Amino acid sequence: MSVHSRLTHAKQITRWGWVVIYEIGWGALFINADFIIEKYGTESQKTYWEHITHPNWGWKSWAIGALIIFILFVIEGSYRLERERKEAQQKKEAELSFEITSLKQKLARALDNPSGPELVIERTEPNTLTIRNTKGGTAHNVRVGPIRNGNCWCLHEDFSFIEEGKYRSYTPMIASDPGHIYADPHRFEDFLTCADRGKPLEEKTLCANIPIPVTYWDGAHKDFTCEYEMSYRIITSEFTVTLKSRTATLRLQS
Domain boundaries, the chain: 3-112, 118-250
Report the topology of domain 118-250: Immunoglobulin-like (2.60.40)
94-122 pLDDT, tens per residue?
A: 888 888 887 777 666 666 656 789 999 99
The mean-pLDDT minimum among 59-63, 80-84, 103-107, 243-247 falls in 59-63
Average pLDDT of the chain, as a whole number: 77
Give the distance from CA 98 to its chain's centroid. Answer: 12
User: Residues 52, 57, 59, 60: what is their CA dihedral angle, to the nearest 10 degrees?
Assistant: -100
pTM, two decimals, is 0.55
201-246 pLDDT, tens per residue?
A: 666 667 788 999 999 998 877 889 999 998 888 777 788 899 998 8
CA distance 251 to 245: 19
Helix and strand numbers, DSSP H then E, in the chain: 5, 12
Quick one: CA dihedral 77, 79, 82, 84, positive or negative?
A: negative
pLDDT band for position 254 (50/70/90)?
very low
